[in-house]
Amino acid sequence: MQVVVNSKSGHFNFVFRKSICLALQYIVLSLMIEIQNTNSPMKKYIISFICVMNLLVFPFIINADTSMVIKVGTYENYPKIFTGEDDTVAGLWADILQYICAKENWQLEWVSGTWAQGLKKLKTGEINIMPDTGWTEPRSRQYDFSRETVLVSWSRLYVPQDSEINSIIADIPLELERVL
């Protein structure tokens, strides 16, 4: 299973701000080179003023709102993600996301519901991340998935020894909604 992200939900604007700042830094460096090549004292003064003002403003642009709030869908699926005894979200996914948010200086906000409700909230932008979501072609066109699989879910099917069922894919009719 992977983490799925709705990149259209707007919480990636920090990366955009960093890109703008890098472009501005390039402009400042170009202006500083221009100072070297000009003989006009007034032009040197104006370019120097612009460079100093930009260098003073860069840290505020980059660090503005760096403590973003990341809304994550949660549901009951012990031990992967669940509500603990003290009403806090716990489990493998909670631990991973709390670690990432601490490293990135993000604030984590859990939004509870069912798994299906979480996917709907992801689609509408009410949440930014829905953990424990399997990749499918339709979902991949709508969301960004983590590149690494974090957890592989697997199951076993037990049948009587004299059963003719050898494979759930080959021997169980697709129209069956559940296997008892």
Return the closest-CA partner of residue 4 out of 118, 107, 111: 118
More confident residue, 8 or 94: 94
Going through the chain in order, the beta strands assigned E by DSSP cover: 2-5, 69-74, 82-83, 89-90, 107-112, 129-133, 144-145
Q: For residue 180, what pLDDT is reported?
A: 45
pLDDT, residue 88, reads 95
Burial (0-12, 13-18, 19+ Cβ within 10 Å), 156 = exposed
**Model-level pTM?**
0.57
CB-based contact 150:96 (threshold 8 Å): yes
Cα first-last separation, the chain? 25
Q: Give the whole-angstrom CA distance, residue 50 versus residue 53.
A: 5
Q: In the prediction, which pLDDT does 169 show?
A: 61
Q: Per-residue pLDDT tens for 81-115?
A: 999 989 999 999 999 999 988 888 889 999 999 99
Report the chain's mean pLDDT, rounded to a whole number. Answer: 76
Percentage of residues in the chain having pLDDT higher than 70 = 59
Q: What are the residues facing 116 on neighbouring strands? A: none
DSSP-derived letter for residue 113 is: S
In the predicted model, what is the mean pLDDT of residues 15-43?
65
Query: 48 pLDDT exceeds 50?
Result: yes
How far is CA 121 from its chain centroid?
15
Helix (H) or strand (E) holding 155, with range, is none
| Gap between the Cα atoms of 159 and 2, Å rounded | 30
- Please compute the mean of the pLDDT values over residues 117-126 and round it to a whole number: 93
Secondary element (H or E) of residue 20: helix 13-37
The pLDDT of residue 39: 76
